Structures are given as structure tokens and as C-alpha cells.
């Protein structure tokens, strides 16, 4: 095990499941102390216990190596508390991973303003706000940010209009912030996964039968012939947070089995 992130402090949103969960475990495995953030308290407590008991002994000789905050990143006071509590508990902040997000279906014809606003609040506004709050602390540590975007930020797909727009906004936010923070030694990157087996689509309202059909079809639309795993995305996020990526900033990094290289079909 390489403890590349020994003595680093990482804040991971959306840490109760999916890519956020896998990322928290991967960063802890690399020696980081991790603050987990999510809206579901029981899964957060479970993953914190797992990291503390299973990962902690191997990865870190500093206790505690994990904590969690049950919060809603779209609430301004919650977001401020998340960053402040992370710094208060661990003394600093080196890494921010914005993995929390949501998806919903809808076209230009039937997406309501309420649905649009809800998705933008989670996927864009909250990400911007946490980046803004974290920036002074990351400037002190020459830290970095990784935003979890999507292949839909790079390519257009019908029926998920607001989601596509939100992820394109995250990509541009990433690039602009990377230029603005480069002089302070803060790197900002994003990862753009294709279809990954998580609870994202189920939580977005997709029925189980439809989801299974979606996964089966997705295996044919990704050139490598399968969907991805949260752990594969977490491995890329880990790389981007590490010193191995010290000369990488402003990148929106595809990890999608080749999906972004294909035309609509």
C-alpha cells in the first residue's frame, strides 16, 4: 500500500454511496484523513466505521482518521458548517472532492422550472459554494479540488436536459477556477464518468426494470463493452489528488469506456 496522501485532509461529499463512498475509501487507503458528507446519516456512519476499523490501521497512524457530517450541501449554513468543521477537527484542508449530485429526466418541453432549479442547486450552485468556502484553506495548503462531472458534460444526450447542462457548467466551473487558483498553487480538475453502477439513476426516479434495461443497453453504447464501477472512478480521483498529478490542472478527464468518442445511436 502506497501512503501517498499521508497527513492529507480530504473532504468528500456524497460519501454515503457510489463514487463518493468509493473515493472516501480510496483516499483513506492512501493515508488521508477523511471527512465524509452526505444527507443520509446511517450509511455515513457505516462507511465511517468501515474506514475507521478496516482502513485506519493500515493506512494511517494518526487518529482519528475519519469523521462524518450529516448535512445538505444545498443549504448555505450547512455548507459553511461542513468546511469549518472539517478544518476545526483536522486542522487544515488539502483536498475537496465534490461527488454529491443528482439526476432527473426531462426535455425542453417538460422540464419544470422547479425541477431545473433543484438540479442546478445540487449539481452546480452547491459545488461552486463549497469550492468558494474551501479556497482560502486550500490556498494555505496548496491543495486541490476534484469535481465529479459526467460524460453528459462533454456530449449531448436527449431526455436529461437539466443534467447535461449542469454537468457542462461543472466542467466550465472547473476550468475557470483552475486558471484563477493556479497562481496560489491550487489545482482544480474534474472527472467525467460514463454510466457507472451506482444508485444515482434509481434515486433519480428510474424504476428497477428500466434501470436494468438501461444498464444492458449501456454495455452496447460504451465501446469497451461494459459499464464502469465506482472504484474505477475513485482510482482516477485518487490519482488527480496525489502528487503524481502535480502538473495537471483544468482538466475534464473522461473515464467512460470510450463513450465520449461515439456518435448518438
Could you give the percent of the chain with pLDDT greater than 70? Answer: 91
Residue 1, pLDDT > 60, answer: no
Just list the catalytic residues.
163
pLDDT of residue 219: 81
| 213 vs 97 pLDDT, higher one | 97
Residue 63, pLDDT > 80, answer: no
pLDDT of residue 64: 74
pLDDT of residue 200: 64
CA distances from 93 to 87, 137, 139 (A): 6, 6, 9
Residue 139, pLDDT > 60, answer: yes
Strand partners, 69: 37
Residue 211, pLDDT > 70, answer: no
pLDDT of residue 265: 57
Residue 173, pLDDT > 80, answer: yes
**pLDDT interval class at 188 (50, 70, 90):** very high
Range of lowest pLDDT (29-33, 97-101, 184-188, 195-199): 195-199
78-133 per-position pLDDT tens digit: 999 999 999 999 999 999 999 999 988 899 999 999 999 999 999 999 999 999 99
Burial of 35 (0-12, 13-18, 19+ CB in 10 A): buried
> Which residue, 189, 183, 259, is CA-closest to 218?
259
Which domains occur in the chain, in start order?
Answer: 9-254 (3.40.50.720)
Amino acid at each position: 500500500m502506497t501512503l501517498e496522501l499521508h497527513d492529507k485532509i480530504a473532504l468528500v461529499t456524497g460519501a454515503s454511496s457510489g463514487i463518493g463512498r468509493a473515493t472516501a475509501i480510496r483516499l483513506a487507503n492512501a493515508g488521508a484523513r477523511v471527512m465524509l458528507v452526505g444527507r443520509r446519516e446511517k450509511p455515513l456512519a457505516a462507511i465511517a466505521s468501515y474506514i475507521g476499523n478496516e482502513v485506519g490501521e493500515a493506512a494511517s497512524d494518526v487518529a482519528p482518521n475519519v469523521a462524518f457530517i450529516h448535512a445538505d450541501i444545498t443549504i448555505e449554513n450547512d455548507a459553511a458548517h461542513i468546511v469549518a468543521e472539517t478544518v476545526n477537527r483536522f486542522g487544515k484542508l488539502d483536498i475537496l472532492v465534490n461527488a454529491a449530485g443528482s439526476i432527473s429526466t426531462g426535455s425542453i418541453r417538460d422540464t419544470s422550472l422547479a425541477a431545473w432549479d433543484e438540479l442546478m442547486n445540487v449539481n452546480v450552485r452547491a459545488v461552486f459554494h463549497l469550492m468558494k468556502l474551501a479556497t482560502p484553506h486550500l490556498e494555505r495548503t496548496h491543495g486541490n479540488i476534484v469535481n465529479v462531472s459526467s460524460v453528459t458534460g462533454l456530449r449531448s444526450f436527449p431526455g436529461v436536459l437539466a443534467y447535461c447542462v449542469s454537468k457542462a457548467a461543472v466542467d466550465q466551473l472547473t476550468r475557470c477556477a483552475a486558471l484563477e487558483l493556479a497562481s496560489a498553487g491550487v489545482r482544480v480538475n474534474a472527472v467525467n464518468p460514463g454510466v457507472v453502477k451506482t444508485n444515482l439513476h434509481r434515486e433519480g426516479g428510474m424504476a428497477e426494470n428500466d434501470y436494468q434495461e438501461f444498464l444492458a443497453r449501456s454495455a452496447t453504447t460504451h465501446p469497451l463493452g461494459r459499464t464502469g464501477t465506482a472504484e474505477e472512478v475513485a482510482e482516477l480521483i485518487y490519482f488527480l489528488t496525489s502528487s503524481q498529478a502535480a502538473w495537471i490542472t483544468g482538466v475534464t478527464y473522461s473515464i467512460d469506456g470510450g463513450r465520449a468518442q461515439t456518435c448518438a445511436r
